[in-house]
Amino acid sequence: MRRMVLGRTGLEVSRLCIGTDYSSVYGGSPLGPKILLRGFELGVNFWDSSESYGSYPAIREALKRLRRSDVVITSKSYSPDRAGIEKHLNEALQEMETEYVDIFMLHAVDGMDEFKRRREALEFLLEAKENGLIRSVGLSTHSAKTAWALADVPEVEVVLAVLNVEGLRISEGDAELMISALKRLRDAGKGVYLMKVLARGRLADRAEEALRYAFSIPYAHSVSVGIRTLKELEFAVKVAEQT
């Protein structure tokens, strides 16, 4: 599978990213590590997680079979303050049994006022990067206006944004504005990847169309797809390779 350098982070990621927001799959089931390892065999080296997903157990087991440097892992925190985000980063390191997280994000920042409220958490992530606990600082958002504004925020190196063929779940704007924002982010040297490309299952009956749309966006380095089965994985890999 084709890989791309994620903006100026230097991280090389596959066009498909495995989304792990299914605790029943990645929270202790033997299926979770199987998906991650089979994905790696198929060229997928990018895993998206969060403190709220319950997916660290599968990642920990999969990492036992791989060199840590061969995969890129994102995690996230909703916490607005230093104590909370420090706790969540430490949990990620301990529960995945890794010395660093490649990308750690402020999770679901859906307005610039909210971004300002998270300043203390952002300052902690910048310190954690200096200390080698994370490689890059990121942010996830549903807001097209926020994505647009983040192009002017040098501290944020990676943006995970909502986009899908129907423009569902986008706030503060529409798909047209979001696409413009993604271009602006990429032109600014940010790493960009997409989430909710199936709109949390609302586009499941149009999965191939929806995935082809997402992989065709020229401003996204990667596309995170929630994967629950090996069949879903192999289907997403096929579409990614054909698009």
Share of the chain above pLDDT 70, in %: 100
Within 8 A by CB and 6+ apart from 30, the residues are none
Within 8 A by CB and 6+ apart from 7, the residues are 157, 158, 186, 189, 190, 191, 192, 221
Q: DSSP 3-state helix, strand, coil percentages of the chain (rounded to 5)?
A: 45, 20, 35
Supply 234's token pair: 């192999």
Paired residues of 106 in beta bridges: 77, 139
pLDDT of residue 32: 98
pTM for this structure? 0.98
pLDDT of residue 35: 98
Query: What count of residues does the chain have?
Result: 243
Contact 164, 196 (CB under 8 A): yes
Contact 14, 222 (CB under 8 A): yes
pLDDT in tens, 187-224: 999 999 999 999 999 999 999 999 999 999 999 999 99
Under the phi-then-psi rule, with left for phi > 0, alpha for psi from -120 to 50, and beta for the rest, what region is 172?
Answer: left
* CA dist., res. 135 & res. 67, Å (int): 16
Supply 88's token pair: 């969540």
- The domain 3-242 is placed in CATH, from the list 3.40.220.10, 3.20.20.100, 3.40.1370.10, 2.40.50.1070, at 3.20.20.100
pLDDT of residue 175: 98
- Grouping H, G, I as helix, E, B as strand and the rest as coil, residue 217 is coil
- Number of neighbouring beta carbons within 10 Å of residue 154: 11
pLDDT of residue 158: 99
* Per-residue DSSP letter, 108: -
pLDDT in tens, 117-130: 999 999 999 999 99
pLDDT in tens, 76-132: 999 999 999 999 999 999 999 999 999 999 999 999 999 999 999 999 999 999 999
pLDDT in tens, 14-70: 999 999 999 999 999 999 999 999 999 999 999 999 999 999 999 999 999 999 999
44 residue type, one letter: V
- Grouping H, G, I as helix, E, B as strand and the rest as coil, residue 78 is coil
Supply 197's token pair: 């490309």
pLDDT in tens, 147-192: 999 999 999 999 999 999 999 999 999 999 999 999 999 999 999 9
Domain boundaries, the chain: 3-242
239 residue type, one letter: V
